[in-house]
Amino acid sequence: MNDLRRRLVRSPVALVSVSILGLMLLLALFAPWVSPVDPGAIDIRTRLTPPSWMDGGSSDHVLGTDNVGRDVLSRIIHGARVSLFVGVATVLLGGIFGSVLGLIAGYFRGWVETVIMRLVDIQLAFPSILLAVAIMALVGPSMMNVVIVLSIATWAPFCRVARGQTLQVCNQEYITAAEALGLRDWTIMWRHVVPNIINPLIVVASFALATNIINEASLSFLGVGVPPSTPTWGGMLGEGRNYLRIAWWVSTLPGIALMLSVYSVNMLGDWLRDVYDPRIGD
Amino acid sequence: MRNLFRALTFSLALMIGGCSSQGDLTVANSTDISTMDPFGMFSRVEVAFGDHLFQSLTFFNKDMEVEPLLATSWERLEGDTTWTFQLREGVRFHNGAIFNAETVKFSIESYYERNAAGRTVGGASVAIPSADITRVDILDSLRVNISTSSPKALLPFYLSQMWMIDPGFYTDASDADRAENPVGTGPYTVSERIRDSHVALAANPDYWGSAPKAARVIWRVIPEVSTRIAELETGGVHLVTDLPFDQAALLDDTPGVHVARISGGRRVMIGITTSGGPEPLKDKRVRQALNYAIDFDAISEGLFSGQVDRMSYMFNPPYNHPTLEAYNYDPAKARKLLEEAGYPNGFELSSLDTPLGKWIQDFELAQTIESQLADVGVTLEKGVRTYEWGNYRGKLLSYDLPGLFMQGSGGEFELLTEAADLTITSPSNFYRWENDEYEELWDELQAALDPDRRQEIGYRMQEIVHEEAPWIFLHIQPDVYGVSDQIDWQPRPDEIIHLWDVSLTL
């Protein structure tokens, strides 16, 4: 852990990424206290007020207001909650599910492996966002549905990586030794396999996190994600796109927030991959 | 060398000029032409489109007056229930069939048979029961007698809503055939139709009247306002409909295009399911409370630059009630009415439903109204729910939107057709509202010939609706069109767009 921290301080890109994500996380956690006004408060009279530094801007709304007069800054802050929550929840759900299946497939081999890996192939044959849109159109918009649907779209890569790594680890002599000692399968898997396959999975998780943040925004943009009453970055992009010509800030600013978050997660993932890759030493 | 260059430039200019003068006159709407079945075209856009393919005995012109079309003249016989129509000679259908008295009999009887069987009759859904035609008698090949159950002063107007169709084609045509292959007498025929994209019309070479000015007319569907505007600016389309005020302001400064504004006749409201829906909405005090909860001044300022007033009446001029006062914003009164009705802490409804982009700023309106209702304690469990128009239209017609729903009722500027919408037998009574006095007045109105008495009935009807509040009154939609300077086109107050006498210049 100390080693990780030392490496982090030495990498400016990773440091900036972590700072941005940390800030987003803080904003998300403390959204009700840090956002200037209620993100749902509609005031149709002051709609499309520009950001405070522009002509006609007001200090009441630092980043301006949207098409029904809601405060853009407050909505971006609250939108961070949805993006990060959905991102983290889907990666945890889909990631754990996929990894466990991959571990089982790689450890037990045989027909179990065949069944699981064919399922992975089937899952990967569908474009994930298309599948998500189709399911969401059927079940209707809600936060829980988004999490479930995106988890389904997430598990397969974890399963593949977990299986591959497990296969590799199981060829090692210490596994044979553990078996010779008479340890039970579950104990071997938990004590000796999992710790040795976790690092690549963390890298997969970082990329899945970025993808799912974008997927959630895409679903909300299309109007099949989180219900419109909940502020989300994707929803803001969608609602503001008709106003790009007369009020660019409505969709541009949440777009920037989305871009920064995803970029940071990706950079961090890149960095983590380098750190965990034994072939790239320092 | 210079001469060669000149010749090249000249021929190039000729080519470009040649291409442009053949350009297609293009109009962009927010919703698609969902069918070309003369009995299925229903919305204002579809009816306007259908008028290019199909024609009626009479024509309701841009001055809101009835003029001859396939009938050249008519007279009322003694007894007031029978009229003789003289038909136009030399009219042929797109497939070459001849238009005559047989056609008229077949067309009108088809409308009535379908209506009796409970099938759709498109834009004639109000005219058919109102006219209540009992028989069509052929006098000779170009003269018919049309009889009604009781004296109908407005028969020529009703007939303007019933298209004449070819018996040879429509007798046995399947539903799919009707939807895809319209056969009428109009100035245009269909040359191409791509669903959710466009319909291309070509001038009918055998048209009986003067040839339409534009050889080709394209009806495009562009659901997004910003895309419609961009297409207009870049010359891709020449006429766009349903512009919000703030976006139209962009076009005021754009060279080559202008904005046409007209006070339309479309009444926009939040429909309330008054029976068979949520319990609280059955109480008229609750419905009045919802009306008092709306701060329309704020909506007008925010969305319409303060230029639109709240609707006080429900029939378009000249039948509008002169002294009714619009509901004012009075949250205290709203809360008091809710308390009287037994809901001191308000109540929760499922959702407020709206199509996206069908009516000007429908989504913004719905969101604002959601928040204003919440201020008096009426909350929505699922908030504002949006639908694509085709889907919404289906739900509206099958009463599948119980609670609160956005509704925009097109203006026909005719008392009978507008009053019919609230009778219990009307398919447009989306509110499932029933009122005995209103029904009695409706029966009387259908037979009334005296203009003063008709006016009186219309006023009383509006008083009842105002009091009973089957909807949250909003406003008369201001119709804003973006128009290319290449066409000479004026808007009509009833949203109908007719393009056969519009030419495209460079």
- Digit-by-digit pLDDT tens for chain B (506 residues) are 445 445 444 444 444 433 333 479 999 998 889 899 999 998 889 999 999 999 999 999 988 889 999 999 999 987 788 999 999 999 999 999 999 999 999 999 999 999 998 888 888 887 898 888 999 999 999 999 999 998 888 899 999 999 999 999 999 889 899 999 999 999 999 999 998 899 999 999 999 999 999 999 999 999 888 899 999 999 999 999 988 888 888 888 889 999 998 888 889 999 999 998 999 999 999 999 999 999 999 999 999 888 888 999 889 888 899 999 999 999 999 999 999 999 999 999 999 999 988 888 899 999 999 999 999 999 999 889 888 888 898 898 888 998 999 999 887 777 888 898 899 888 889 999 999 999 999 989 887 778 899 999 999 999 999 999 999 999 998 889 999 999 999 999 888 999 999 989 87
The reply to whether A41 touches chain B by the CB within 8 Å rule is yes
Neighbours of B312 (CB within 10 A): 16
Tokens, residue B423? 């009778």
Let me know if domain B264-478 sits in CATH 3.10.105.10: yes
Task: Give the domain range for residue A228.
Answer: 2-276
Pairwise CA distance, residues B500 & B53, whole Å: 11
What lies within 8 Å, CB to CB, of B83 at 6+ separation is B74, B75, B76, B77, B145, B146, B147, B155, B156
Check CB contact under 8 Å for B383 and A229: yes
CA distances for B167 relative to A226, B12, B38, B186, B446, angstroms: 52, 50, 13, 16, 30
Pairwise CA distance, residues B366 & B386, whole Å: 10
Pairwise CA distance, residues B126 & B120, whole Å: 11
Check CB contact under 8 Å for B298 and A42: no
Residue A88 lies in a domain: yes
Chain A interface disruption, residue of B222, B243, B246, most A CBs within 10 A: B246
Pairwise CA distance, residues A269 & A202, whole Å: 8
A211: closest CA of chain B, how far (Å): 27
Tell me the β-bridge partners of B487: B504
Q: Which residues in chain A have their CB less than 8 angstroms from residue B225's CB?
A: 242
DSSP strand pairing (B378-380 vs B347-349): parallel
Locate the chain B residue with the closest alpha carbon to A244: B226
The reply to whether B301 touches chain A by the CB within 8 Å rule is yes
CA dihedral sign, ordered B155, B156, B159, B165:
positive
> What are the pLDDT digits (tens) for A187-203?
999 999 999 899 899 99
DSSP strand pairing (B471-484 vs B239-240): antiparallel
Describe the crossing of helices B331-340 and B284-292 by its angle, rounded to 10 degrees.
160
Check CB contact under 8 Å for B302 and A44: yes
Check CB contact under 8 Å for B229 and A245: yes
Backbone angles phi, psi at B442, to 5 degrees: -60, -45
Tell me the β-bridge partners of B239: B27, B483
Q: Residue-wise over A152-187: b if at least 16 C-beta within 10 A, else e?
A: bbbbbbbbbbbbebbbebbeeeebeebeeeeeeeee
Tokens, residue B448? 């009334």
Q: Using alpha carbons only, give the angle A133, A135, A140 rounded to the nearest 5 degrees.
A: 90
Q: Which residues in chain B (235-274) have CB-CB distances under 8 A to chain A?
A: 246-247, 249-250
DSSP assignment of B445-493: HHH---HHHHHHHHHHHHHHHHHH-SEEEEEEEEEEEEEETTB-----T
Per-residue confidence (pLDDT) for residue A228, from 0 to 100: 78
Tell me the β-bridge partners of A187: none
Q: Which of B399, B396, B374 is nearest to B384 (CA)?
A: B374
Parts of chain A with a pLDDT under 50: 282
SS3 annotation, B171-230: CCCCHHHHHHCCCCCCCEEEEEEECCCEEEEEECCCCCCCCCCCCEEEEEECCCHHHHHH
Q: Are B455 and B463 in contact (CB under 8 A)?
A: no
Q: Which residues in chain A have their CB less than 8 angstroms from residue B246's CB?
A: 48, 243, 246
Q: Which of A45, A68, A241 comes nearest B364 by C-beta?
A: A68
Q: Which of A124, A196, A134, A193 is nearest to A159 (CA)?
A: A124
Which position has the token pair 């065949």?
A: A114
Q: Which residues in chain B have their CB less than 8 angstroms from residue A47's CB?
A: 302-303, 364
Tokens, residue B310? 């709240």
Residue A281 lies in a domain: no
Helix (H, G, I), strand (E, B) or coil at A1: coil
Tell me the β-bridge partners of B68: B58
Beta strands (DSSP E) in B231-308 are 239-240, 257-272
Residue A219 lies in a domain: yes
Q: Which amino acid is at B502?
A: V
SS3 annotation, A86-127: HHHHHHHHHHHHHHHHHHHHHHHCHHHHHHHHHHHHHHHHCC
Neighbours of B32 (CB within 10 A): 21
Locate the chain A residue with the closest alpha carbon to B357: A242
Check CB contact under 8 Å for B382 and A227: yes
Q: Which of B194, B195, B191, B221 is nearest to B203 (CA)?
A: B191
B491: closest CA of chain A, how far (Å): 24
Tokens, residue B186? 């109009």
Q: Which of A43, A69, A245 comes nearest B226 by C-beta?
A: A245
Chain B interface disruption, residue of A37, A46, A239, A242, most B CBs within 10 A: A242
What lies within 8 Å, CB to CB, of B306 at 6+ separation is B297, B300
ipTM for the complex shown: 0.76
Pairwise CA distance, residues B21 & A50, whole Å: 43
Q: Are A76 and A34 in contact (CB under 8 A)?
A: no
Helix (H, G, I), strand (E, B) or coil at A11: coil
DSSP strand pairing (B198-203 vs B188-194): antiparallel
Tokens, residue B241? 């409909």
A221: closest CA of chain B, how far (Å): 13
Residue A282 lies in a domain: no
Q: Are B167 and B103 in contact (CB under 8 A)?
A: yes
Check CB contact under 8 Å for B384 and A68: no
Which position has the token pair 């099938």?
A: B119
Locate the chain A residue with the closest alpha carbon to B243: A242
Residue A143 lies in a domain: yes
Per-residue confidence (pLDDT) for residue B1, from 0 to 100: 45
CATH class for the domain made up of B58-168: alpha beta
Number of domains forming the structure of chain A: 1
The reply to whether A243 touches chain B by the CB within 8 Å rule is yes
The domain locations on chain B are: 2-52+186-238, 58-168, 264-478
Pairwise CA distance, residues A135 & A144, whole Å: 13
Q: Are B81 and B149 in contact (CB under 8 A)?
A: yes
DSSP type of residue A193: I
Q: Residue-wise over B273-308: b if at least 16 C-beta within 10 A, else e?
A: bbeebbebbebbbbbbbbbbbbbbebbbbbbbeeeb
List the CATH code of the domain at B2-52+186-238: 3.40.190.10
The reply to whether B356 touches chain A by the CB within 8 Å rule is yes
The reply to whether A228 touches chain B by the CB within 8 Å rule is yes
The reply to whether B293 touches chain A by the CB within 8 Å rule is no
Q: Report the CATH number that the domain containing residue A177 is assigned in CATH.
A: 1.10.3720.10
CA distances for B244 relative to A48, B228, B248, B498, angstroms: 14, 12, 6, 22
Q: Which amino acid is at B432?
A: R
B405 burial class (0-12, 13-18, 19+ CB within 10 angstroms)? buried
Locate the chain A residue with the closest alpha carbon to B230: A245
Bond preceding residue B427 cis, omega within 30 of 0: no
